[in-house]
Structure 1
Amino acid sequence: MKRALFLGGTGTISQSVCALAARRGWQLTLVNRGSCMDRVPEGAQVLCADVRDPDALARVLAGRTFDVVADFIAFTPDHVRRDMDLFDGRTGQYLFVSSASAYQKPLAALPITESTPLVNPFWQYSRDKIACEEALNARMRETGFPVTIVRPSHTYCERKAPVALHGTRGNWQVLARMREGKPTIIPGDGTSLWTATHASDFAKGFVGLMGNPRALGSAVHITSDEALSWNRIYEILAGALGVELHPVHIATDFLVACQDEYDLNGDLHGDKCANVLFDNTKIKRLVPDFVCTVSMAEGIRQAVEYMCAHPECQEPDPVFDRWCDRVCAAYQAGLAAFQA
């Protein structure tokens, strides 16, 4: 039985990967702080440690080797340098979860391929992921460190319906505002295309890369082939809730100027306001049975139904609610000044 170590393992992406890997016969070990234990698949071993503490991590992993190590929670070059030092010679493959937000912004051409330049002047998160990739590639060239880089785009699950704009406590407040008949802010004119991939589909590609010798030394994104406009995404959300949508289209520059509560420049200019359409030829070549079977429309409806049926997914975000009201009021006041 092949052995895999996951750093993380209970998040939006990694939970689905864990579940599928377990079903396909992988012997799983997870390292995290012991939270969200209900999301750990049966039979997986959990080692409780702070992955940001190199000494603690080294202690719980002493003497262990793995066929695959996957880090879902590495965000800076220091994180991957720690991993490279710890796992060099102890794994046959290291999978780094990067981000498709690292691709060029604004894009020069569509569709996005793995050869699209990595440059994002708007978002530090993306620049850190790029720096991680550069550090890993340098080590691979120098020592042969067995790296595979995976670039997810917007990946969601039943607990988190995709939206363009939300606060710090998740997405529920966007749905709550819709149910209350409040205005829903949609950045720009809502016509930009967006790709959201269900976590269960993403997992098929990721698990297919695990232990795959053809994937060594490669960078590959895993996304759906589908793209919908943000207007259509919000229409589906409202339809799933059984309410009328009250959209307010506000320029991204205006939203960024109002970001006293949030850092929107990266999240919007650096990601969600770009047209995105991915060429998934590479992942389909590496994993021939990879196919996305959850359409965006069906996945969004399923997420809304799940969130509405599970109170634990309904965390209020009064700060975001007030911020939306303030932004809408400022926008309407600006319009009124020219319509008087």
Structure 2
Amino acid sequence: MREVCVIGGNRYFGKRLIARLMAAGDRVTVINRGSSAPPPGTIHLVADRNEERSLESALGSRTFDVVVDQVCYTPRQAAIARRVFAGRTRRYLMTSTVEVYEYEDSPAPVREDALDPRTVAVDLDLPWDDPQFLDSNYGEGKRQAEAVLAADPAFPYAAVRVAHVLGGDDDFTGRLAHYAERMRTGEPIAVPAVNHPATYIHVAEIADFLAWAAGADFGGPVNAASHGPLTTEELCAAVAAHIPGGTAVFREVEVGEVSPFSFARSYAMDNSRAERLGFTFGDASEWLHRAVAETLGR
């Protein structure tokens, strides 16, 4: 039986990950601030992961085979985690994001080596505790968090750069609902003049991937995305199929806010490293309509 610690992970693909770990026979410890109870059968530790003493006190003398950090958003959080879990775990798996590639605009799907976290400058003095700053610097926060973990060669970390996640009846983002509402009301959907496709992953597939990665032995960053990029038009066509009389009307904008899943730059990731390591991804076109039906409740 493996001892697995999950930091955060009480909702969306995190709770699916915990279910998979428990089904595999792992003993799962969940750390959160106590605002919500973790799934039944887990060990619950209450701690503020932003406070080093709080985290150390909650952990006591516990050690783990694997730590899966679902809520590491800043270099400060990564620095605390690296200090606290050094010597406590054989493997530390951080859930990162495709948004770390926000400066790597490539016409081809981007590979992991396009962003080496060891080359990323870290600034712990930025206002990472300010929710508004963090929200507008989400990708940079994740980039610097990866950089902090990568800076210590002895720390056994890996970072899963997750594509945009779709599916599930508990999708809290409201992004597909945005399109559905526009179609119901006839409002136009704002897109950039040059609108690039992106790679996606189903909520169940990323849970599968993280459960697999927890038991693997690779290090460093790895991309997690289904095969086949999707365009905004393809997403909207899938949504329209679930809206009576639904039709997408697009409006190109040069400046200003655009709809979710509309991108003025490429957000396609190359998933070949993960597949070489042994994980097989599905095709986004095969699960897209199912994902939309799950989220829209039809």
- TM-score, normalised by the number of residues in structure 2: 0.83
- 2:199 pairs with 1:195: yes
Moved over 4 A (4+): none
Please show how residues 122-201 of structure 1 align to structure 2 within 5 Å: 124-140=137-153, 144-159=154-169, 170-171=174-175, 174=178, 177-178=181-182, 180-189=184-193, 191-201=195-205
**Residue identity matched to 2:101:** Y
Q: Quote how far apart the aligned CAs of 1:24 are.
A: 1.5
The match for 1:329 is none
* More displaced 10-residue stretch of structure 1: 238-247 or 131-140: 238-247
The runs of 5 or more residues in structure 1 that have no matched partner are: 163-168, 257-263, 307-340
Query: What percentage of residue pairs aligned between the two structures are identical?
Result: 23
The match for 1:29 is 29
Please show how residues 13-28 of structure 1 align to structure 2 within 5 Å: 13-28=13-28
The match for 1:241 is 243
**Residue identity matched to 1:127:** E
Q: Give yes or no for contact 2:192–2:253 (8 Å, CA) kept in 1.
A: yes
Q: Give yes or no for contact 1:205–1:290 (8 Å, CA) kept in 2.
A: no
- 2:268 pairs with 1:277: yes
SS in 1 for 2:295: helix
- TM-score, normalised by the number of residues in structure 1: 0.73
Which of these residues, 211, 217, 220, is aligned with residue 218 of structure 1? Answer: 220
Please show how residues 57-96 of structure 1 align to structure 2 within 5 Å: 57-96=55-94
Q: Quote how far apart the aligned CAs of 1:189 are.
A: 4.9
Higher helix share: 1
SS in 1 for 2:255: helix
The match for 2:129 is none
Q: Quote how far apart the aligned CAs of 1:297 are.
A: 2.6
- Please give the alpha-carbon distance, in whole angstroms, between the structure 2 residues aligned to 1:127 and 1:50: 22
- 2:281 pairs with 1:291: yes
Whichever of the two has the greater Rg, that structure is: 1
Q: Quote how far apart the aligned CAs of 1:36 are.
A: 4.4
Aligned CA RMSD, in angstroms, stands at 2.8
User: What per-residue deviation string (whole Å, max 9, x for no partner) do you get for residues 297-327 of structure 1?
Assistant: 3212222126xxxxxxxxxxxxxxxxxxxxx
- Please give the alpha-carbon distance, in whole angstroms, between the structure 2 residues aligned to 1:131 and 1:243: 46
The match for 1:325 is none
- 2:230 pairs with 1:228: yes
**Residue identity matched to 1:16:** R
The match for 1:336 is none
The runs of 5 or more residues in structure 2 that have no matched partner are: 121-135
Q: Quote how far apart the aligned CAs of 1:203 are.
A: 1.7
Query: How many equivalent residue pairs?
Result: 279
- Please give the alpha-carbon distance, in whole angstroms, between the structure 2 residues aligned to 1:145 and 1:138: 8
**Residue identity matched to 1:70:** V
Q: Quote how far apart the aligned CAs of 1:33 are.
A: 2.7
**Residue identity matched to 1:130:** R
The match for 1:109 is 107
Q: Quote how far apart the aligned CAs of 1:160 are.
A: 5.6
SS in 2 for 1:220: strand
Q: Quote how far apart the aligned CAs of 1:109 are.
A: 3.4
